[in-house]
Amino acid sequence: MPAPSNNSAFLKWLFQGYFRDRHAPTEHREHHKSSWWKVMCLTGVDYFSTLGYQPGIAALAAGYLSPFATLILIALTLGGALPIYRRVAVESPHGEGSISMLEKLLPWWQGKLFVLALLGFVATDFIITITLSAADATAHLIENPLVRKPLEGQAVPVTLVLVGLLGAVFLKGFSEAVGIAVVLVSVYLFLNMIVIMEGLIRVFHTPGVFAHWQDGLMHTHGGSPLMLLGISLLVFPKLALGLSGFETGVAVMPLVQGKSSDSERNPAGRIKNTHRLLGTAAVMMSIYLITSSLVTTLLIPAKEFLDATATHPAGHANGRALAFLAHHFYGEGFGTVYDVSTILILWFAGASAMAGLLNIVPRYLPRYGMAPEWTRAVRPLVLVFTAIAFLVTLVFKADVNAQGGAYATGVLVLMSSAAVAVTISAHKKGQKTATWLFGFISLVFGYTTVANMVERPDGLRIASLFIFAIVLMSFISRVWRTLELRVDRVDLDAAALQFVKDAVERGNGARICLIPNRPEARDQAEYREEDYEARRDHQLSPEECVLFVEVTVPDASEFSGALKVKGVQVGEFQILRATGTAVPNAIAALALHIRDLSAARPHVFFHWGDQNPAVYLFKYILTGRGDVAPVTHEILRRVEPNAEKRPAIHVA
C-alpha cells in the first residue's frame, strides 16, 4: 500500500505509525508504555469485572458448596494459571503469548494451520469478551429502575452503542484506554470492598448465619469432607470464567514499561514487571472471589439466584449478587452508584480483549501473508474488530447466556494450550520436576475444558465457526497476495557480489544472463549441459555472461523474508545459490537487485514447463515452485510497471 499523499489527512490519521514502522519486525514497533499497575487495570477490566456475575454463577452452580468450589478455583489460579503464565511471559516477552511457543513445534503448513486454529480460539475468547461484556452491561443497565421502562426491549441497540464507544476509545489511542481503565477498576474495586466488608461484618455478627449454612451442607451433601470435596471438584469447571484475564495479561506485554537497560532480545525489566502484574492481579482477585462467594452464599436466600423460567422471573440476585447486596445494605442511592460502576467496567471489559487482539493478530496473519499488510496498523484493525463485534451482537441478539459457553471455551482452550506449551518447554530443558508439575496442571485444565464443552457444547460450535472463518479468509488472503515480491531484502555475499561485478565489467554490449536451474548433481557436467542447452535454445553468444541461479525453499509456508545469496564457483561456471520462500519471487527479487547494483537490465532465461497449469498453480502455493517463468514475469510486471527498466524474461 503506498503512503498517503500530503493532503490525505484522514489516511494519515487512520494509518498513523504504519508507514513509518511497516518494514520493522512487529516486535520492534513502538508501543505506548505504561507502568505495570496501570496495564494491570487494562487487563483487569475483564478479570475484575467477573465479580459482577461470578458469585451468582458460583452460588447457582454449587449452592452451599460455592465457597469450597471457589477455593478450588483459587488453588488452580495461584498454583496453576499463575506459574504457567509467569513462564509464558519469560519465553514470549513480546506479546505473542503461548501461541508462539507452540508455533515452533510444528514446521511447514502444519504449524500454520495449528496457529490458525489457536487464533480461532483467541478470536472466540476476545471477540466474545467484547460482545458478552457489553451485553451484560446492557442487562445491568436495563435492570436499573430509573431507566428500565424507556430501555425495555432495546438490548441490541444499547449493546451496539456500547461496543461502538469501546471502538471509539481505541481509535483515539492506547493511552486513553489505559487511563480510563485505571479509573474504572479503582472505583469498582473500592465499591466492592465496601460491600464485601459490610457483608463479612454481618456474617460474623448475625447469629445463626453459619449454623444455617452448616445445616444446608449437612442436609444437601451429607457433611462428609470427601463428599464435599468430590462434588466441589465436579462443579468448579462451571466457575471457569473466574480464570479469564491471564492470556490478555501476556498479550499486552508490549504495553508494560520495563527498565532503561531493557533490549528487545532481553527485556528483563518488562518481564519482571509483567510478573508483578500477573501476581498482583491473581492475589487480589483470589481475595475478592473467596470473600464475595462467602458473603453472597451466606447472606442471600437461594431462591434469589435462580434463573428465569416460563412461570417465574429470575431471582433478584441472578447474575448480580454483589449488586443485590449493595442495594440491600445501603439503599437505592449507593446501589445505583454501584450499578453505574458495574455497568461501566462491564462495558470496558472488552478493552483488554481489544488490546490483546491488536497485539496478537499483527504478529501472525500479516507475517503468514494471510491478511493484508495494512492489518499491521492499529486503527483499521479497530474498525474491523468493532464491525465483527457488531455482527456477533446482532447474531446473538445481545443475549449473555447464549455467548457464555463460547467465552468459557475460548478461555479454557487457550489456558490449556499455555499449560501444554510450558510443559513441553520444561521437558526440552530437562527440568523434570517442572515437567511433572506443569503436566499435572495441563491435565487439570484439560479436564476443565472437556467438562465445560460437555456441559455447553454450543461453545465449541461457535469456536469452530470462528476457526473456519479465520482459516478460510487467511487462505484467500494468501492466494491473493502470493504474487507480491515477498522479499524483505536481498543479501549477497562477497563471492556473489564479485560475480555480478565481473558480469558488468565484461562490457561490449554483453547482457547479464541469469539461468534458473533446479540442481541435481551440482557438478561440472550438469552445469556444462545446462549452459549448452541455454545458449542453444536462446541463441546466446559466447561473449554473454551466464550466471546460474538456484533457489532453495526450506519452508514454503513462510510468506516473506530476507533472500540470502551465496556465490559458488564450480569449474568455470558461476552459480548464485539463494534461500527464499518461493522460487519465482526469489528470482524476481534477485533480478531487480542486480539491476539496481549494476544499472544494467538483467535477462532471465527459462524453459516452459510441461504440466497442467492448475497443477503448477497448486504446487506454487504449497511448495513455492510450479511454472516459474510466467509467475516471475507477472511478479516483475507488478513491481516494476516500466517495461524498459524491468528485467527481461525469455522463455524457450
pLDDT in tens, 411-469: 888 888 889 989 988 998 889 999 999 999 999 888 888 888 888 787 788 888 888 88
Domain boundary among 481, 501, 518: 481
Out of 177-181, 191-195, 245-249, 499-503, the most confident range is 191-195
Q: Is the pLDDT of residue 190 over 90?
A: yes
Q: Is the pLDDT of residue 66 over 70?
A: yes
> DSSP of 547-586, one letter per residue?
EEEEEE-S-TT---EEEEEEEEEETTEEEEEEE-S-HHHH
Question: What pLDDT sits at residue 27?
Answer: 46
Burial class (CB in 10 A: 0-12, 13-18, 19+), 608: exposed
Mean pLDDT of 97-101: 78
Out of 94-98, 194-198, 335-339, the most confident range is 194-198
Question: What is the rounded distance in angstroms from the CA atom of residue 461 to the CA atom of residue 467?
Answer: 10
- In terms of domains, do 434 and 509 share one? no
Q: Is the pLDDT of residue 103 over 70?
A: yes
Residue 25 lies in a domain: no
Average pLDDT of the residues of the chain:
82
Closest CA to 71 of 232, 221, 300: 232
Mean pLDDT of 265-278: 89
Q: Is the pLDDT of residue 30 over 60?
A: no
Q: Is the pLDDT of residue 283 over 90?
A: yes
Using 50, 70 and 90 to split pLDDT, how confident is the model at 341?
very high
Question: What pLDDT sits at residue 223?
Answer: 60
Question: What pLDDT sits at residue 42?
Answer: 83
Residue 425: which CATH number?
A: 1.20.1740.10
- In terms of domains, do 498 and 430 share one? no
Between 357 and 574, name the one with better pLDDT: 574
Question: What pLDDT sits at residue 538?
Answer: 86
The answer to whether 470 and 437 have CB atoms below 8 angstroms apart is no
> CA dihedral in degrees (90, 95, 101, 102; nearest 10)?
150
- Outline where 63-97 has alpha helix (H): 66-76, 82-91
Out of 46-60, 246-260, 520-534, 602-616, the most confident range is 520-534
Out of 470-474, 476-480, 493-497, the most confident range is 493-497
Q: Is the pLDDT of residue 254 over 50?
A: yes
The DSSP bridge partners found for residue 649 are: 604
Q: Is the pLDDT of residue 180 over 90?
A: no
- Express each pLDDT in 619-638 by its tens digit: 777 777 777 888 888 888 99
Question: What pLDDT sits at residue 220?
Answer: 67
Give every CB contact of residue 323 below 8 A, 6+ residues apart in sequence: 52, 140, 335, 338, 339, 342
Q: Is the pLDDT of residue 400 over 80?
A: no
Question: What pLDDT sits at residue 320?
Answer: 80
Question: What pLDDT sits at residue 160?
Answer: 92
- Express each pLDDT in 375-387 by its tens digit: 777 788 888 889 9
Domain boundary among 454, 481, 508: 481
- In terms of domains, do 548 and 449 share one? no
- In terms of domains, do 514 and 387 share one? no
Using 50, 70 and 90 to split pLDDT, how confident is the model at 555?
confident
Question: What pLDDT sits at residue 353?
Answer: 80
Domain residue limits at 557:
487-651
Between 113 and 286, name the one with better pLDDT: 286
Residue 295 lies in a domain: yes
Residue 14 lies in a domain: no
Question: What is the rounded distance in angstroms from the CA atom of residue 367 to the CA atom of residue 277?
Answer: 29
Mean pLDDT of 286-293: 92
Residue 27 lies in a domain: no
Question: What pLDDT sits at residue 325?
Answer: 92
- In terms of domains, do 524 and 472 share one? no
Mean pLDDT of 582-609: 86
Mean pLDDT of 320-329: 88
- In terms of domains, do 532 and 589 share one? yes
Mean pLDDT of 89-108: 77
Mean pLDDT of 301-314: 76
Total domains, the chain: 2
The DSSP bridge partners found for residue 367 are: none
Residue 16 lies in a domain: no
Residue 372 lies in a domain: yes
Q: Residue 91 to residues 87, 210, 282, 419: CA-CA distances in angstroms?
A: 6, 47, 20, 13
- In terms of domains, do 450 and 521 share one? no
Question: What pLDDT sits at residue 510?
Answer: 67
Residue 542 — φ and ψ, nearest 5°? Answer: -60, -25
Q: Over 282-327, what HEC string results?
A: HHHHHHHHHHHHHHHHHHCCHHHHCCCCCCCCCCCCCCCHHHHHHH
Question: What is the rounded distance in angstroms from the CA atom of residue 644 to the CA atom of residue 4?
Answer: 27
Q: Is the pLDDT of residue 644 over 70?
A: yes
Domain boundary among 421, 450, 481: 481
- In terms of domains, do 470 and 559 share one? no
Mean pLDDT of 25-49: 74
Percent of the chain with pLDDT over 90: 12
Between 189 and 613, name the one with better pLDDT: 189
- In terms of domains, do 429 and 544 share one? no
- In terms of domains, do 532 and 442 share one? no
Residue 293 lies in a domain: yes
Question: What pLDDT sits at residue 611?
Answer: 65
- In terms of domains, do 473 and 510 share one? no
Q: Residue 528 to residues 515, 523, 573, 578, 636: CA-CA distances in angstroms?
A: 12, 9, 8, 20, 29
Least confident of 145-159, 319-333, 556-570: 145-159
Question: What pLDDT sits at residue 365?
Answer: 75
Question: What pLDDT sits at residue 199?
Answer: 93
Question: What pLDDT sits at residue 23?
Answer: 47
Mean pLDDT of 123-151: 81
- Count Cβ neighbours within 10 Å for each residue of 256-270 and write b for 16 or more, e otherwise: bbbeeebeeeebebb
Question: What pLDDT sits at residue 508?
Answer: 55
Question: What is the rounded distance in angstroms from the CA atom of residue 184 to the CA atom of residue 191?
Answer: 11
Using 50, 70 and 90 to split pLDDT, how confident is the model at 484?
confident
Give every CB contact of residue 147 below 8 A, 6+ residues apart in sequence: 141
Largest CA distance in the chain: 107
Mean pLDDT of 555-584: 86
Least confident of 179-183, 215-219, 477-481, 539-543: 215-219
Question: What is the rounded distance in angstroms from the CA atom of residue 628 to the CA atom of residue 549?
Answer: 12
Q: Is the pLDDT of residue 20 over 60?
A: no
Residue 22 lies in a domain: no
> Sign of dihedral through CA atoms 625, 628, 630, 634?
positive
- In terms of domains, do 114 and 223 share one? yes
Please, which contacts does 639-647 make with residues 24 or more away whose CB atoms are closer than 8 Å?
639/485, 639/588, 639/592, 640/592, 645/595, 645/601, 646/601, 647/588, 647/591, 647/592, 647/594, 647/595, 647/601, 647/602, 647/603, 647/604
Closest CA to 180 of 311, 44, 379, 6: 44
